[in-house]
């Protein structure tokens, strides 16, 4: 079997003059990228990094994050990409959990001893060599988004990662022609894996800076040389609100939603307003893709995530009991490789075997003994004109249930208007106790709402009391 590192290094050595990554309007060839990776490897070797060590890479841009990761593999180390916007307390948590040999960054990180490297190292030509490591040695640490707590870490060996890249060539193919637009931080596992797939195949990557304006993303998506892109649902929602021609990106061969199920309204709007080649993949870190729905099928079944892939078994459970069709419960998935995994979502299977997600398991709200998903409130809020983002936070109420706080990012500053419009869409039993308008809602590296960060902003004096829903 072939490791991911072997795949990528073989591709980089083949056709070294072929364009590989565009970063800040400059194209880097396969050979130039390989020379950068060798320079990173020499730097890590000089810092005493040995095979089997773990390196924490503070990812501030796609180019240096990826060439540093490949540099880790050249010296036989494992890499873990962490977004540069991660707060200090969470960086400390990452450090404690990973115990890295070094923390690598292109800029100093206050409060942390870091190995600061140049954004553009002096290229180094070296014979291709990977230190011998065991087949099951960890090559990379993927993590869940950690929207409500500490992210779950999932190690992947080089052999496993290589097999996964091969597997998805047929299960979730990407366009062979054109470049792939990377518009989210590679610290986000789905974005990182997509880039590694492209490096292994030699498909060119157009890399936007992780922090960019919506008009910059829009301009990149209209480029004739860009064939595909993956974006979180919240970003797709903002793009569908732009005025102009429909579909907005007719040249895209593939537009993918990653990072959690999009709402039915957002999926339909993306297919009709952005690209008829829109695909939504439902997956879980540590398991992989579970099902997919795309194009016209979305218009026919807008609430669904699609049918589970062959070889993927989905069951819906309530405690130890397996739910009947059309009954909501906890989603469980299994395959030949994974016996039983819980993505943390609630959902149901319809009579035709299509999976529908109703919300996160920890997103269930309770009022007077009746449970309902917080997503009902956020989806209703997002249907209102001017609402750009919405999230629900809770505190215990006097009856032992949830006091519900709806936080919205909105162009509308009149809370009374939002209240009136929302009462039309929600029953009284599910109406929030408080509505707060904020100029912005924090997002994590994957473009999801950072509920822990939002909790700290909304309840600064009681950060440990509320829980995110």
Q: How far lies 94's CA from each of 83, 151, 293, 408, in Å?
A: 11, 9, 34, 30
Burial 95-110 (b: 16+ CB within 10 A, else e): eeebebbbbbbbeebe
For each of the domains in the chain, give its residue range(s) and CATH number, in order of start: 4-231 (3.40.50.12780), 374-468 (3.30.300.30)
Residues 336-357 pLDDT 10s: 888 888 888 889 999 999 999 8
Q: In this predicted structure, what is the pLDDT of residue 13?
A: 94
Q: How confident is the model at residue 465 (pLDDT cuts 50, 70, 90)?
A: very low
Closest to 405 in 3D by CA, of 432, 375, 439? 432
Q: In this predicted structure, what is the pLDDT of residue 134?
A: 65
Contact 371, 337 (CB under 8 A): no
Contact 246, 303 (CB under 8 A): no
**In the chain, how many H helices and how many E strands?**
13, 26
Residues 159-182 pLDDT 10s: 999 999 998 888 889 999 999 999
Q: In this predicted structure, what is the pLDDT of residue 1?
A: 72
Q: How confident is the model at residue 35 (pLDDT cuts 50, 70, 90)?
A: very high
Residues 106-155 pLDDT 10s: 999 988 999 999 888 887 766 445 565 666 789 999 886 655 455 678 89
Kindly calculate the radius of gyration of the chain based on its CA atoms and give it in whole angstroms: 22
| Mean pLDDT, rounded, for 406-432 | 90
| Mean pLDDT, rounded, for 332-337 | 90
Asked if the peptide bond before residue 247 counts as cis, ω within 30 degrees of 0, the response is yes
Q: How confident is the model at residue 464 (pLDDT cuts 50, 70, 90)?
A: very low
Q: In this predicted structure, what is the pLDDT of residue 52?
A: 92
Q: How confident is the model at residue 469 (pLDDT cuts 50, 70, 90)?
A: very low
Q: How far lies 413's CA from each of 41, 85, 118, in Å?
A: 52, 28, 44
Residues 300-322 pLDDT 10s: 999 999 999 999 999 999 988 99
pTM of the model: 0.82
């Amino acid at each position: 079997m072939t490791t991911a590192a072997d795949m990528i290094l073989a591709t980089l050595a083949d056709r070294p003059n072929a364009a590989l990554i565009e970063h800040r309007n400059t194209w880097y060839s396969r050979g130039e990228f390989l020379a950068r990776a060798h320079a990173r490897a020499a730097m890590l070797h000089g810092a005493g990094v040995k095979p089997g060590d773990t390196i924490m890479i503070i990812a501030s841009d796609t180019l240096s994050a990826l060439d540093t990761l490949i540099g880790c593999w050249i010296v036989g180390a494992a890499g873990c990409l962490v977004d540069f916007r991660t707060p200090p307390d969470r960086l400390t948590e990452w450090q404690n959990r990973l115990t890295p040999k070094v923390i690598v960054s292109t800029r100093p990180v206050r409060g942390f001893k870091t190995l600061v490297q140049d954004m553009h190292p002096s290229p180094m030509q070296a014979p291709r060599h990977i230190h011998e490591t065991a087949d099951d040695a960890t090559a990379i640490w993927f993590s869940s988004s950690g929207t409500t707590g500490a992210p779950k870490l999932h190690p992947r060996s080089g052999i496993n990662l290589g097999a996964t890249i091969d597997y998805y060539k047929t299960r979730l193919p990407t366009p062979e022609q054109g470049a792939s637009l990377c518009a989210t931080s590679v610290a986000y596992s789905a974005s990182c894996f997509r880039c590694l797939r492209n490096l292994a195949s030699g498909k060119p990557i157009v890399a936007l800076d992780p922090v960019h304006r919506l008009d910059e993303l829009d301009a990149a998506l209209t480029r004739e040389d860009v064939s595909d892109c993956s974006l979180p649902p919240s970003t797709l929602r903002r793009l569908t609100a732009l005025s102009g021609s429909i579909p907005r990106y007719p040249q895209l061969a593939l537009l993918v939603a990653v990072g959690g199920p999009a709402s039915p309204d957002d999926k339909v709007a993306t297919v009709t307003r952005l690209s008829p080649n829109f695909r939504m993949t439902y997956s879980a870190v540590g398991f992989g893709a579970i099902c997919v729905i795309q194009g016209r099928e979305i218009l026919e079944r807008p609430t669904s995530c699609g049918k589970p892939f062959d070889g993927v078994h989905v069951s819906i459970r309530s405690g130890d009991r397996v739910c009947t069709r059309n009954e909501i419960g906890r989603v469980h998935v299994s395959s030949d490789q994974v016996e039983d995994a819980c993505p943390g979502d609630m959902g149901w299977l319809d009579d035709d075997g299509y999976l529908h997600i109703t919300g996160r398991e920890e997103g269930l709200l309770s009022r007077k003994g009746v449970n309902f998903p917080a997503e009902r409130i956020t989806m209703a809020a997002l249907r209102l004109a001017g609402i750009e983002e919405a999230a629900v936070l809770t505190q215990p109420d006097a009856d032992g249930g949830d006091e519900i706080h709806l936080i919205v990012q909105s162009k509308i500053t009149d809370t009374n208007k939002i209240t009136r419009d929302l009462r039309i869409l929600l029953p009284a039993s599910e109406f929030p106790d408080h509505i707060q308008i904020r100029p912005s809602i924090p997002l994590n590296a994957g473009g999801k709402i950072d509920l822990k960060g939002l909790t700290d902003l909304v309840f600064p004096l009681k950060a440990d009391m509320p829980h995110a829903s």
